[in-house]
Structure 1
Amino acid sequence: MAKPIVVILDSSDVAVEASVLDGTATVIGADKHSNEDLSDDLLASADVALVFHTIQVNETLLKRLTKCRAIVRFGAGYDNIDTKTAASLGISVSNSPAYGTEEVADFALSLILNLYRRTTWLAEKLKTGAASFARVVDIEREAKGARRMRGQTLGLVGLGNIGTAVALRAKPFGFNVVFYDPFLSEGISKALGISRMYSLKDLLGQSDVISFHCGLSSQTKHILNADTLAFLKKGSFIVNTARGGLIDEEALAAALRSGHVSGAALDVVEAEPCVFSPSSSPLCSAPNVILTPHAAWYSDQSIIENRRTCAEEAKRALLGTTPESCLRSWVNRSGFVANSDRWSQK
């Protein structure tokens, strides 16, 4: 009997997955970066599909995965996958919710520190010779806007694994930490020694710097927009290491130009991959912006951890008979329709 096939849609590097799935499945690295590049034969061969964020696993693609029983998303976010349609077809969707927690939290805090201490801008001006630093008044001029962090209020939108990790990292720097997350039960604020806000308006109005750590959905798309930006304290900072679609970029660019927002540091934009030009994002031409290329998740350790975790979930999906019996991070349980052609006794 032929081995099952695991297809990694948007990567050709299969070393980690092949070692985990050795003897269980044949691993194919498709290395495609758009849906149009994926052939029907390749998709029809997949018993399990693994995917990063460049492929849009929409209804059309899902229907081409004719025998696939499981999709595993490399990463915590899975907004590029139509989980409801997958559930209706009997295809489970899993993610890697714990990987990269430390990396993204560290990265978010580094962006916050950069905004407060103006590190990136000062380093760039020194490197390029764009400014002289010979006199005290030169440093005062170029570092103007740098602030002391102790006593400032950090507002977190979303308090999952990463948001919690950011809160714990920020407190030793002297930040007062507040959060808004309507999906959490009472008590977490006491456990962490932080304060809960019960509306986004209240959080924005009390925070000196806001950092986003929530998923992207129809409810959170452009959660920061022209209307909500009006609630911000004048001179606040914005940090986003979550999803670019959380922010209306035109509105944020306007707020940066007016000075209502003093600075923004963003690892994600709506149209990715980001090319640093005004045609890529209006934020590219706005003042006081730090943009990084959706790299907060990466470390030499996290990429291996992520791939191994997802390969192990794929292996469980291949060896199990029902999602309930084998999967550890099944995210589309609601509405799932069991399909004997996909999940069956071996």
Structure 2
Amino acid sequence: MALMDKHKVKRQRLDRICEGIRPPILNGPMHPRPLVALLDGRDCTVEMPVLKDVATVAFCDAQSTQEIHEKVLNEAVGALMYHTITLSRDDLDKFKGLRIIVRIGSGFDNVDIKAAAELGWLLDHYFASPTPPVDLLHPSSGPITPLQWTYYTPPVDLLHPSSGPITPLQWTYYTPPVDLLHPSSGPITPLPSTHPSTLIYMRTNHCLLCALSPSGIAVCNVPATSVEETADTSMCLILNLYRRVTWMHQAMREGTRASSVEQIREVASGAARIRGETLGIIGLGRVGQAVALRAKAFGFSVIFYDPYLPDGVERSLGLQRMATLQDLLIHSDCVSLHCSLNEHNHHLINDFTIKQMRQGAFLVNTARGGLVDEKALAQALKEGRIRGAALDVHETEPFSFSQGPLKDAPNLICTPHTSWYSEQASLEAREEAAREVRRAITGRIPDSLKNCVNKEYLMATPQWPGVDHGAVHSEQNGAAAYRFPTGLVGVTAGGLTGAGAAVEGIVAGNLAMAHGIAPMSRPPHTPSPGQPSKAETDRDMPTDQ
């Protein structure tokens, strides 16, 4: 019993030592108790129950990055945010350790997702060694060059072996590397530039731990929690435009009497029957489909335009698809916007497209304010080309009638970007955002994330010219080889050149490459001393599926 207790004490001490020297892991489980911050919220009572056992949670209540606390900028690995703050490339550069941003909501146009991903793609874990690396399993074979490194089985997390193999994109060191030939010299410093260097190599149980890791920031959203609320609000605004409820209420508050038919006709001027009208939906995503189903129940004939949607969706929903935006505008009595905002559709509704709409059509926008040119809309409302408009989102928020081009526009309903809100939706969105951060902390980025919107940028790697097959080391047994582009590795004066470049590789068998480099033919095999022959190796290896 005493012996067991002694082993337990030793193990606990080893764990503490490992935790103390373990550096931040770029795409694996994060350091214990990382800091997660709600940037533009006033409390974190909803997020705390989800994250309290894996992270320290704080809130900033900031309106811009200038108001974010210095501790958050320096230490936060996760950030939760609404639409208040805009994070450009310059803003993202202020964060020192940020790995994931989760937008509490479906939109993410206030975050530069490409810049977030491009804050990485570094060869962060290549370290210089004062001596050439050797094959630790076969030391008699002599030193090997970086170009000849191979691995024989999928690498694993040495500190958490039960988690199974990890993909090549996720290889990382979990402790500072050391010179394995001279362990007493201590950890090795990254890439010294004052003397020629080669790279250290570490193989344990036929596993080579390399370090090609995306060190950018993953950006996620919560796309599904407010679908019903936004669709319901859109229908409320559409009905309001057709039935003139807001204007009749305003007239009653002002003391207008409507007892005679003439007075009613004057107060309700512009009210129209819904059945038989054509509703044109731009963007048939989650909200667009929900609006279409509701509109059909009210008697609308629904058409839509969405160039990104696959063929056949219109048949399953019983809708009519328009081939072009112009076709939709020409045939719609009311146009409702439900698309995301990007560089291609900014001011989608402008002076030119408004002139393509039917005379006296309605316009509803509960998507993104930048989709509508408010100056052109105000002019169209004043001229009567558009009979009425309802906007929940605006080019400049928070919106105010006292300034901007819409301040004198008639027949206009404006709400303060609240179409997404309900008590239930707000709670669900915050909980789901916290769960996404939890997946990042306990899993791997971006593979463990559910709604990563910039994964394509995180996973992309530069293309490099091929490497001469004859240069591959004789130990290559057909499992895989990682090769470095010319000028990237080797003994060079001034250290490693091209350190920001990515590694090109090939893979065979069932081990998938995470960065999409095409497989190449296997080079000839010549076993090294103490290694099984090619026939024995091929017999033990799994066959290609």
Aligned to 2:380: 255
C-alpha distance in 1, partners of 2:254/2:423?
Answer: 30
Aligned-residue offset at 1:313: 0.3
What SS class does the counterpart of residue 309 from structure 1 fall into? helix
Q: TM-score, normalised by structure 1?
A: 0.94
CA RMSD of aligned residues (A): 1.3
Q: Read off the aligned partner of 1:318 and give its amino acid letter.
A: I
Unaligned runs of 5+ in 2: 1-18, 20-31, 120-215, 461-545
Contact 2:390 2:414 in 1 (8 A): yes
Aligned-residue offset at 1:337: 5.7
Q: TM-score, normalised by structure 2?
A: 0.60
Match of 1:283 among 406, 426, 437: 406
1:112 aligns with 2:234: no
Aligned-residue offset at 1:40: 3.5
Q: Give the count of matched residue pairs.
A: 335
Match of 2:336 among 211, 229, 234: 211
Aligned-residue offset at 1:321: 2.5
1:229 aligns with 2:354: yes
Contact 1:211 1:238 in 2 (8 A): yes
Aligned to 1:21: 51
C-alpha distance in 1, partners of 2:239/2:309?
Answer: 28
Aligned to 1:96: 222
Aligned to 1:314: 437
Contact 2:60 2:69 in 1 (8 A): no
Q: Read off the aligned partner of 2:400 and give its amino acid letter.
A: V
C-alpha distance in 2, partners of 1:337/1:155?
Answer: 37
The percentage of aligned residue pairs carrying the same residue is 48
Aligned-residue offset at 1:249: 0.6
C-alpha distance in 2, partners of 1:13/1:195?
Answer: 45
1:331 aligns with 2:453: yes
Contact 1:40 1:64 in 2 (8 A): no
C-alpha distance in 2, partners of 1:28/1:337?
Answer: 30
C-alpha distance in 2, partners of 1:133/1:295?
Answer: 32
Aligned to 2:109: 79
Contact 1:156 1:210 in 2 (8 A): yes
Aligned-residue offset at 1:287: 0.5
Aligned to 1:38: 68
1:134-163 per-position Cα deviation (integer Å, ceiling 9, x unaligned): 222111111010000000000001000000
What SS class does the counterpart of residue 170 from structure 1 fall into? helix
C-alpha distance in 1, partners of 2:367/2:87?
Answer: 19
C-alpha distance in 2, partners of 1:99/1:284?
Answer: 33
1:157 aligns with 2:282: yes
C-alpha distance in 2, partners of 1:322/1:53?
Answer: 23
Aligned-residue offset at 1:284: 2.5
Matches within 5 A, 1:145-184: 145-184=270-309
Larger Rg belongs to: 2
1:192 aligns with 2:314: no
Contact 1:88 1:337 in 2 (8 A): no
Q: Read off the aligned partner of 1:29 and give its amino acid letter.
A: F
Q: Read off the aligned partner of 2:79 and give its amino acid letter.
A: A
Contact 1:235 1:261 in 2 (8 A): yes
C-alpha distance in 1, partners of 2:358/2:398?
Answer: 31
Q: Higher helix proportion, which one?
A: 1
Aligned to 1:343: none
C-alpha distance in 2, partners of 1:295/1:128?
Answer: 26
Aligned-residue offset at 1:167: 0.2
Q: Read off the aligned partner of 2:68 and give its amino acid letter.
A: L
What SS class does the counterpart of residue 174 from structure 1 fall into? coil
Unaligned runs of 5+ in 1: 339-346
Q: Read off the aligned partner of 1:119 and give its amino acid letter.
A: V
C-alpha distance in 1, partners of 2:92/2:70?
Answer: 11
Q: Read off the aligned partner of 2:92 and give its amino acid letter.
A: L
What SS class does the counterpart of residue 295 from structure 2 fall into? helix
Contact 2:227 2:286 in 1 (8 A): yes
